[in-house]
Amino acid sequence: MLRDRYNIQKGDRIVICSANIPQYLVAFWACQLIGAIPVLVNIWLPEKPLVHCILHTGSVVVLIDTERADRIAPKLLHLQNEGVRGVLVMDSLVHHSRWEHCKLWDDVLKSVSDVDLPQFLAQAVDVSPEDDATIVFTSGTTGLPKGVLSSYRAYLRAGERLPNSSNDGPQTGMLVGVPLFHVSGLTSFSMLATLSGMKIILMSKWDMKDAVRCSEFPLYCSLSSFLLVPSLISDLIDSDLQGHPFKFFLFGGAPAYPQLPKKAKDVFPHAMLTHSFGMTETNAVCVAIAGEDYERRPTSCGIPCPVNDMMVVRDGKKVTDGSPGEVWLRGPNVMTGYWGEPGATELVLTRDDWYKTGDLGCIDSEGYLHIRDRIKDIIIRNGENIDSTTVENAIYLDDRVYQAAAVGIPDPRLGEMVAVVVSEKNEYRGKVRRSELLNLARKNFVCQSSEVCLALLTWSSSKIATLLTPSGKIMKQPLRALAHKEWVRQQTEQQPTASSRL
């Protein structure tokens, strides 16, 4: 359809912007077969940055779902005038009048004559390992998102050492609750599942009740594996799935607090736990830890994958004494660069192919990596560098805490103060006292001399979602403004200073 109806040639860009639906994966693999470059775009982007991603990459076909069709409906004629040959709505059987310049995926498919598959595959486009394979847009938490361009070698090295599929019993199933436009959802799990013969269960939106229902059909598939961010793993631990014989849990997308692996293992004793470190620019995993190693080192995200090199750099020199610095990575899975942005590429890729992650970390004496913070999120209090992870881990010692995020807020005397924004689990909403968390932090958070203000915000799940990236990380920049506003409000109401500071 893409080749015959829209004259797609090798190297042409095709945007896929949709919630997790089967057509997403069909479109992705169709692009690979004809040598086109799938452009994967964040479905939560508003109209302006979404249109930017389409035009910035010069995409000639746009594949979207109904929600995205409604969002860019006012710009459809503009896209057509800028060279977009077709906009297809993949998940609707009814054409709405507001989609005047769209076509339905199913209608276009029906209009194309049957394809002789063996003949088509025999005429497959010739691609080399270094040819452009994908463009995946970053979350765009600051400014417009950047398109991460990767080669076939970078993208498909995720298929190394795949487990053999088994014909015994129901087909093994993998539940993907992470968006497919994110490298964790597409590369780490969906591609792994596809290449190893597993059934993929897609969730368009994470819902614990739906996850429980997926486990109730053992004859349909054996649900054995989960890829979830740490906060959703916490949901799973407290759900009706306690004791389910899962085989594999992958923690990814965001840091996991140290107590989480033990809690997960206690509730799901048959599951092997894995924590990984990676990003869009490295096509997902480049550092990982699993099994007993992870249980013994819950604060680590592991050692480099066999194809990756890793080092910590501070002040332009490699750190060898275990002290913190910026984590640099190198390997065939690292991106080619940012599409159409050579200046941005030069800032993060060195001439000898090291990628500067922007993460602050250290390597222990056994070679295991420990991530402390994003460099830009370090809190500088009275000249002292404080990483947010250390503060957050102290708060997570309270089992009633669902999410915690430490940020720096302006202080006229100290420069910055440490603020911790906390979300309680639903069953404890309104029952967690600020004084209790402050006492917990006082006992477990150690730095030179710390002054922590605690802005205890009661968030609804919908408000939490507005501050999360697709990978489940809390966006610290907008959170700083919220925390500062809350702290000013508390001070204005003359709450006792002693109860809010350490």
Q: Which domains does the chain have, with CATH numbers?
A: 2-127 (3.40.50.980), 161-329+358-375 (3.40.50.12780), 378-499 (3.30.300.30)
- pLDDT of res. 251: 75
Asked if 12 contacts 3 with a C-beta cutoff of 8 angstroms, the reply is: no
CB atoms within 10 A of CB 269: 10
Residues 6+ apart with CB under 8 A from 337: 149, 345, 349
* pLDDT of 322 over the 80 cut: yes
Report residue 150 as tokens: 């990767």
Of the candidates 314, 301, 350, the one whose C-alpha atom is nearest the C-alpha of residue 329 is 350
Q: Render pLDDT for 478-494 as a digit per residue (tens, 0 to 9).
A: 888 888 888 888 778 75
Confidence band, pLDDT 50/70/90 cuts, at residue 98: confident
Using the 8-state DSSP alphabet, how is residue 198 labeled?
Answer: P
The pLDDT of 16-20, averaged and rounded, is 96
pLDDT digits (tens, 9 = 90+) for 360-392: 999 999 999 998 888 888 887 766 778 888 888
Q: How confident is the model at residue 168 (pLDDT cuts 50, 70, 90)?
A: low
Judge residue 421's burial from the number of C-beta atoms within 10 Å of its C-beta, 0-12 exposed, 13-18 middle, 19 or more buried: buried
Task: Please report how the helices 260-267 and 230-237 are oriented relative to each other, as an axis angle in degrees rounded to 10.
Answer: 40
Average pLDDT over residues 227-234: 73
Q: What percent of the chain has pLDDT over 70?
A: 85
Quick: pLDDT tens for 419-434.
Answer: 888 888 888 888 888 8
Token pair 């969002």 in the structure block, residue: 71
Compute the distance between CA of residue 165 and CA of residue 188 in angstroms, rounded to an integer: 17
Element (H, E) at 56: helix 47-56
Scan for tokens 């490295």, then name that residue.
Answer: 282
Q: Which residues are registered as beta bridge partners of 288?
A: 276, 303
Q: For the chain, what is the mean pLDDT?
A: 83
Report the C-alpha gap between 326 and 331 in whole angstroms: 17
Average pLDDT value for residue range 135-155: 83
First to last CA, the chain: 64
- Give the phi and the psi of residue 322 in degrees, each rounded to 5: 85, 0
Rg of the chain (C-alpha set): 24
Strands 199-202 and 172-176: parallel
Q: How confident is the model at residue 159 (pLDDT cuts 50, 70, 90)?
A: very low
Q: Residues of the chain with pLDDT > 90: what percent? A: 37
How far apart are alpha carbons 141 and 45 in whole angstroms? 10
**Are 150 and 203 in contact, with CB atoms under 8 Å apart?**
no
- DSSP per-residue letters across 366-433: TS-EEEEEEGGG-EEETTEEE-HHHHHHHHTTSTTEEEEEEEEEEETTTEEEEEEEEEE-GGGTTT--
Number of Cβ within a 10 Å radius of residue 488: 13
The answer to whether 501 and 491 are in contact (CB under 8 A) is no
What pLDDT, on the 0 to 100 scale, is given for residue 308? Answer: 95
Measured over the CA atoms of residue 316, residue 321, residue 327 and residue 331, the dihedral's sign is positive
Cα–Cα distance between 312 and 319 in angstroms, integer?
5
Are 331 and 342 contacting, i.e. CB atoms less than 8 angstroms apart?
Answer: no
Residue 18, pLDDT score: 96
Backbone angles phi, psi at 123, to 5 degrees: -100, 20
Over the stretch 29-40, which tens digit does the pLDDT of each residue have?
A: 999 989 999 999
Q: If we measure between CA atoms, which residue out of 359, 305, 374 comes closest to residue 328?
A: 359
Phi then psi for residue 23, to 5 deg, are -60, -25
User: Residue 453 — pLDDT band, cuts 50, 70, 90?
Assistant: low
